[in-house]
Chains A and B, each alone.
Chain A
Amino acid sequence: MTMPSPDKDLYRPRPAEIREVIVENSQIKTFVLAFADREYNASFTYQPGQFMMVSVPHCGEAPISISSTPAKSGTIHLSVRRAGRLTAALHDMRQGDAVGLRGPYGRPFPMTDLLGRDLLFVAGGIGLAPLRSVINTCLAAGHDRRITILYGSRTPADIAFKGDLATWGQTAGVSCLLTVDRTEPGWAGEVGLVTGLFARCALDPDETTALVCGPPMMIRAVLAQLAERGVADGNIITTMERHMSCGVGICRHCHMDEKLVCQDGPVFTLAELKQLKVMELQG
């Protein structure tokens, strides 16, 4: 077997092993992965916001954002919602099974800038996956400004990343608020849209960068709320999702006007997105 080189093997993945499968809820699983090539695995690194192209036998490839932090090396977490053929096949895989990986790709979150700011994270459902990477990286780096996490789920049973949410809830300087669209017996927390949580958090618009990720409906509602609070478009950051074939800026499936999500994103500021025609921002 020949070893891949970055130029010659642009499209050829490397085998990786599923070390663990964490069931987040009925739709989302987090796959803890490590490259089969131990030496490569040890040297592999990435930045929050980047994505991997994941190969599943006979199903092709799909882009999945990395939900772990590079501060903890050795494994990569990919949190995957069951949505189509490839993700359904992936959900059927178990610990010890093999997938293919190439990456990391894409423009990451501006971590250096974020470390000096108050951070407001607003996520819905699987949208917490890329933000989880940022939050845990910030905490590992000793971020000493205010961190607020607002997380919305459909029902209490749909709340993903419970372990992280519990840890964040107990971390000094971090305020972590949850809400659900529909309540269930035993739920004593908030009910309603994630924007309903804004009333409960202090926010200094000039000092805050907001990171927003979730379904388009939620994004639009949150952006309206942030505008009302006076957060500038340049201080609002989100990540975009698009169909991709290559992940490296050639196939053009992920175009948004003159931008390519795989190269110019997936991380964008709202100021950048407003220069484009973006479905997520339109009603």
Chain B
Amino acid sequence: MTDKYILKKDHLLPLLRKLKKNHRLIAPLRNRHGDTLFTEIDQLDDVRLDLANQPQNSLKQFFFPQQEVLFTYRNPGPDSYHFEPAAGESPPSLYFGVRPCDLSAVLYMDVVFLKNARDPHYLHRRRNSILVGLNCNGPFANCFCNATRNGPFVDFGFDLQLTDLGDRFLVELDRSRGQEIISAWRQFFAAADDKDVKAQYQAFLEARGKFSLQVHLDLAARRLADDQVSESVWHELSMRCQDCGGCAYICPTCTCFSIRDRQTSESGGERIRNWDACTFSGFTRMAGDHNPVDRQMRGIEKRFRHKLQFDMKKDNRPSCVGCGRCVNICFGGTDIVRFINMTCCENT
């Protein structure tokens, strides 16, 4: 066993203190309202690291902020129009305690932002990131990453991956930056032995048995592909969806955005991009109010087809990571789990 290590829990804070010297540190913290959120840590001694609860947010906002300036422009006269790069910069950032769903979502964002074209803003932040993951020993009430096949444990995509073994973490490596951390702070890591690896496997088996939701994502995906989802399902979803966009904003893989100008002075402004949601009626509206998609009736259908049919067809995996956050946020009863259940319960 040369590539697996043990990090004693007593050594975690001292290690994070060392890492914080050269990195912006982002981890799940419990705030004074009792909410657990991925938060940038200012002073390690002043915060409550919370590895027991699912963070309410994902890492999306750190790689793809809800609003950002793409560049600024100056237009002092009609014949003068200049574009200057935005001043934005992202320091080396270490994301700690990233669960398999959120880690998988980052890997999905890599495809969205870097495959067709290389989004410079995303690329810069991603290149400056280190992902330290945490396998899920106990899925939460709305979790179904077993159905999306990216949890509760993962074995790639991270720099370091931790598994909680009670008094210690088993530490695995995938990307090179993980090895750099181990090498730089060797004093905190001991070699793992067979017993540790077996304990990890035991934890995995137990975690796998703890899902309380049964989500038949494969069946729903097949029915979508075979065009077997009846119009009444779409109708009910459209009627009940409240168009709040909450599902898209909270979703770690929903990455649609809009770009617009914000005038900041007589002669200049910023081009900014904002999160958007494909369920909104304006999403496909063109100049002159022409809209090729009936968003009122088809918006939510497009969203589910994208996640469970079109991405499945293209990449053989859904663009849903089973984090369950949309289940918590949807008050219209039209989250993805309820859609899958409606689809699967239909008689065809």
Name A's B-contacting residues (CB within 8 A). Answer: 1-2, 4, 7-15, 17, 55, 57-62, 83-87, 93-94, 96-100, 241-243, 245-246, 248-255, 257-258, 260, 263, 278-280
User: Interface residues of B toward A: which range?
Assistant: 35 or more
Tell me the minimal C-beta distance from B77 to chain A in angstroms.
9
Which residues B64-98 have CB closer than 8 A to chain A? Answer: 70-71, 73, 75, 78-85
B71 adjacent to A253 (CB under 8 Å): no
B292 adjacent to A279 (CB under 8 Å): yes
Ordered by A's residue number, 24 sampled pairs between the chains whose C-beta atoms are within 8 Å are A1-B82, A10-B118, A10-B120, A17-B79, A58-B261, A58-B263, A60-B259, A60-B271, A83-B288, A85-B287, A98-B79, A99-B81, A243-B284, A243-B285, A243-B286, A246-B117, A246-B257, A249-B117, A250-B113, A250-B255, A251-B257, A253-B284, A254-B284, A255-B310
Please measure, in the bound complex, the distance between the C-alpha atom of A59 and the C-alpha atom of B83, giving whole angstroms: 14
- Closest residue on chain B to residue A85 by CB atoms: B287
| Known contacts A11-B70, A246-B259, A258-B313, A100 near B117 by CB under 8 Å | no
B314 adjacent to A98 (CB under 8 Å): no
Please measure, in the bound complex, the distance between the C-alpha atom of A85 and the C-alpha atom of B312, giving whole angstroms: 37
Q: What residues of A have a CB within 8 angstroms of the CB of B70 in the complex? A: 11-12
Q: What residues of A have a CB within 8 angstroms of the CB of B260 in the complex? A: 60
Please measure, in the bound complex, the distance between the C-alpha atom of A251 and the C-alpha atom of B273, giving whole angstroms: 10
B84 adjacent to A253 (CB under 8 Å): no
A15 adjacent to B306 (CB under 8 Å): no
Please measure, in the bound complex, the distance between the C-alpha atom of A278 and the C-alpha atom of B298, giving whole angstroms: 13
B24-56 to A contact mask, C-beta < 8 Å, 1/0 = 000000000000000000000000000000000
Tell me the minimal C-beta distance from A18 to chain B in angstroms.
9
Please measure, in the bound complex, the distance between the C-alpha atom of A85 and the C-alpha atom of B263, giving whole angstroms: 15
Q: A11-B120, A252-B256 provided; 12 other pairs, C-beta below 8 A?
A: A7-B123, A96-B78, A99-B81, A243-B285, A246-B257, A248-B116, A249-B116, A250-B117, A250-B255, A251-B276, A258-B314, A278-B292
- Closest residue on chain A to residue B294 by CB atoms: A279
Q: What residues of B have a CB within 8 angstroms of the CB of A11 in the complex? A: 70-71, 120, 259, 271
Residue of B78, B83, B314 near A13 (CB, 8 A) is: B83
Name B's A-contacting residues (CB within 8 A). Answer: 70-71, 73, 75, 78-85, 112-113, 115-120, 123, 255-261, 263, 269, 271, 273, 276, 278, 283-288, 292-293, 302, 305-306, 309-311, 313-314
Please measure, in the bound complex, the distance between the C-alpha atom of A13 and the C-alpha atom of B310, giving whole angstroms: 31
Tell me the minimal C-beta distance from B216 to chain A in angstroms.
22
Q: What residues of A have a CB within 8 angstroms of the CB of B80 in the complex? A: 98
Please measure, in the bound complex, the distance between the C-alpha atom of A213 and the C-alpha atom of B311, giving whole angstroms: 29
Closest 3 CB pairs of A and B: A249-B116, A84-B287, A83-B287
